Amino acid sequence: MKVLGIMSGSSMDGVDLALCDVNETAQGWQVEILEGVTVPYSETWRVRLSQLRYQNAELYAKTDVFYGRYLGELAAAFFQQTGQRADLVASHGHTIFHDPKGWLTAQIGDGATLNAFAKVPVVSNFRRADVGLGGQGAPLVGLGDDLLFSDYDFCLNLGGFCNVSAKYQGKRIAFDISPCNIVMNRLARERDLQYDEDGAIAEAGLIDYTLLNALNEIPFYGQSFPKSLGREWINKNFWHIVREFDDLSVEDRMKTLVMHIAVQVCRALETIAEKPLDECKLLVTGGGAFNKALIDHLRSETACEVVVPEAKLVNYKESMIFALLGAMRVKNLNNTLSSATGASTDWVAGSLDGDFGQLVGKSWG
């Protein structure tokens, strides 16, 4: 079965589309990324998405539909340009609200509209069922890590936020660690850049330990897992601290953020490691894996073997895992883990839009 996984992260770099070959075999699930592309956001879309949480209900509903159309058009263009087809689209959408304590998580990208323009059955809305069951609704990639990357002790994603998954006391756990690209990109825009390419800005800076200590004392870092983060949390608990140090250069603030992220990742690994860290392997993916300064700090702060895989997996691992979760939804298999999210039970998550008649009961592999 071919599944097009679509992912838009909180850092708003763009939309990742990865066409994956998904097979269920006697040895377990196997997923191969066949082709992938990242479509950068226009400034119009970036502003529209970043400001949507402040708009009225009508505009929110319209944007949900228009964004579903946008994703459907991207999928249709992908099929036309590659000459490929998919049996299924699995779309994460773009998160606008995330407040699991308030029973709220909202990802726009209307599945019915996406289906209408992509002309392929769609699974979307993966997070709400987990929140309804008392879970965080995030991170959801832990199940994919367990099924596809069990050779690694830890799987770290350096996206808008950084999150980790691992085996812990016999179960797969996952949780958000800290902000990552979402805050570094904000600083990069002070240099009229979308992001800090290769970590060049950070490399030119010096660590300010007063700022570093202030960030490390944020209460979230002392909370036990499961736990997750959203943009709302950054605005309330994080960014005002960085703004208090506006007298520092962008380079020094960027270097300090890089060190802060590395420190928090290493502290998180220490809390869940079940053997000495120098015997552990850490798989690192997401856009932050290309940030040389961040990876260098990770390697200096932890005794783990830090593995950055080929660029295809770095870029499209999350899209790949959502392709898997979509396939599992069609087969009515649990695709969320309560051990990772804190929900009351594992669950079959995802809304279905389109004609699934040809997929139900399909033998894969």
307-361 pLDDT tens trace: 999 999 999 999 999 999 999 999 999 999 999 999 999 999 999 999 988 776 5
Distance in angstroms (rounded) separating the CA atoms of residues 207 and 18: 37
Percent of the chain scored above 90 by pLDDT?
Answer: 95
Q: How far is CA 291 from CA 21, 115, 361, in A?
A: 29, 36, 44
Is 0.75 surpassed by the pTM of this model?
A: yes
Percent of the chain scored above 70 by pLDDT?
Answer: 98
CATH code for the part of the protein at 2-137+318-353:
3.30.420.40
pLDDT of residue 360: 64
Residue 99 predicted with pLDDT over 90: yes
Sheet harboring 171-179: ordered strands across? 171-179, 161-168, 154-158, 281-285, 305-307
User: What's the CATH superfamily of 142-313?
Assistant: ATPase, nucleotide binding domain (3.30.420.40)
List the chain domain ranges. Answer: 2-137+318-353, 142-313
Distance in angstroms (rounded) separating the CA atoms of residues 42 and 57: 23
C-beta of residue 139 within 8 angstroms of C-beta of residue 98: no
Distance in angstroms (rounded) separating the CA atoms of residues 324 and 142: 12
